[in-house]
Structure 1
Amino acid sequence: MPESTPPAESKPVLLLGISGPSSSGKTTLSRLLRDIFPPNLVFILHLDDFYLTDAEIPVKDGIQDWDCIESLNLGELRKALQYIKEHGRSPPSLVSQEDQNSVGEHGVDSSEIDRARARVKKLVEKSGWTTPICIVDGFLLFSEDMADIRRLFDVRLFLRTSYGTAKRRREARTGYVTLEGFWEDPPEYVDKVVWPNYVKDHKFLFEGLDVERELNEKLCTEVGIEGMPREAEENMSNCLVWAVQKLERVIMNASPEIS
């Protein structure tokens, strides 16, 4: 049976998980969705805000590994998600470090954003939708090692990108604000750490356990994951349209008065 949760309208919040490899557009998509929905209806929780302290990040083969499950404070993440599920808002004590990191240009034309905003506004008004939507953005949300957290989400969107694109985008970044300072990827970090970890944690979702092949539709259905269509890869405009359509379906299904 597919992983599922009670209907969204019976809860104080809709939890939307957006996951995928590093540099696949997770944070960019999350911020765009927040911007096109009515103010105060959508907020973001970043998995990157739940790293351990810099000194606690595990070292593997002489390199700190920020892209493994052992680098995360999963206890604090679970507590934050539970608070959100109960109260419909972020814990007041949570201050985001991730919001200080840039994500680069999204490439979506302003007219497309305006059209999406108008479409969402009309749908929300027609349906009377008032449930807050919490977007959780993170690179490991759908891994088997975090299956208990994966089950918490009402909607699970999985982004994908190729090795070459992930490497190019990741290596173009200047670095990351951390709990205690600033992190810059050392040389060959994508090849030695980022991509191998992604393959290990997500190959179960793909045909033949090969992350460059198609997603395994049967398995994704079983775990309730919606996979990004191929035409949305490296095209944030298409990715945004796809994500909005998925949320529209949720809102319409929760609002039987919409024909």
Structure 2
Amino acid sequence: MDSRQTFILAIGGATGSGKTTLAKHLGRIIPSLLVFQDDFAPAEDQVPIDPRYGWQDWDAKDGAIDWAKQRRVFDTIRETGVVPEEHSSHDHLNEQVPVEIQDETEQRWKDKFARLSERCGEAYPKVVVTEGFLILVDPATTRHFDLQFFIRADYDTLKDRRIKRQGYHTAEGGFWKDPEGYWDKCVWPAYLSAHAPLFVDGNVEQGDLTPGSPVELLQTPELSMDDMVNRTCAQLYEAIEQSRTGAAEEDDRPNGHSAL
């Protein structure tokens, strides 16, 4: 498959920031393949033990993701537009907390993308939406992304949402519930450390994105879920339309060659 026919949009942010909810809204609006980073977590017995506290650390960058597996899957997606047959998801097992958007927002974008698809015909790309709490930190993976968004929320909001969750199901059928103090000792420091390179002076909480960054910042609570849907859909719509125009212009050139 021509790589132009696969368009990958990635959404990063801390646990509880709304990235999974946003990804699922996009999946309903735009027929797309959803890829959840939690499905790249290592096997339960391979999650490292934090020697300071004696519990498993599911959040530190080095041990939280099977990076080789994640890279293989996105290499395949970029090349073929589909995930490898052996890849599976357990997202449906986790608690689904809906954050609704207005019907008008959803329908308006559904209609716009449907019309764009009709105009593009076979040139309309396969859209892939991926999300994860570390999805934007691995250059070997992010090189495949056409659009990148980072949802930033404040410490108190994120901590409150994490505490209210019952826990997380694992691929093996187990269930992880945070030990007392896990947020402050593991989750929050790991989040800041992993994302520091994305921000000026490493200021994840309040800083600007590093100059030239391909990432777009979505700041809550200034932006509602409707606002974030509108922003991401508008960016995706424009990118697909521009790629369609560029492809048409290239096809119109003598012998189909690009201008130098």
**Pairwise TM-score range, normalised by the shorter structure:** 0.7 to 0.9
* Contact preservation (8 Å) 1:51, 1:73: yes
- Identity, % of aligned positions: 30
Structure-2 residue corresponding to 1:99:
92
Structure-2 residue corresponding to 1:159:
151
Structure-2 residue corresponding to 1:4:
none
Structure 1 residue 130 displacement after superposition:
2.4
Aligned mates of 1:201, 1:131 — CA distance in 2: 31
- Deviation digits for residues 46-97 of structure 1, max 9, x if unmatched? 1100111111111112121111221221111111111111211122221201
Q: How does 1:12-23 map to 2 (within 5 A)?
A: 12-23=5-16
- Deviation digits for residues 103-135 of structure 1, max 9, x if unmatched? 312131233222222222223323335211111
TM-score (norm 2): 0.85
* Counterpart check, 1:58 vs 2:48: yes
Structure-2 residue corresponding to 1:5:
none
Structure-2 residue corresponding to 1:3:
none
Structure-2 residue corresponding to 1:132:
126
Structure-2 residue corresponding to 1:247:
236
Aligned mates of 2:161, 2:115 — CA distance in 1: 35
TM-score (norm 1): 0.85
What one-letter code is carried by the residue in structure 1 that aligns with 2:43?
A: T
Aligned mates of 2:2, 2:161 — CA distance in 1: 38
Equivalent in 200, 208, 228 of residue 215 of structure 1:
208
Gaps of 5+ in 2: 249-260
Equivalent in 209, 213, 226 of residue 216 of structure 2:
226
Over aligned residue pairs, what C-alpha RMSD do you find?
2.1
Aligned mates of 2:208, 2:94 — CA distance in 1: 30
Gaps of 5+ in 1: 1-7
Larger mean Cα displacement after TM superposition, 108-117 or 81-90:
108-117
Structure 1 residue 241 displacement after superposition:
0.6
Change (3 A) 1:82 1:184: same
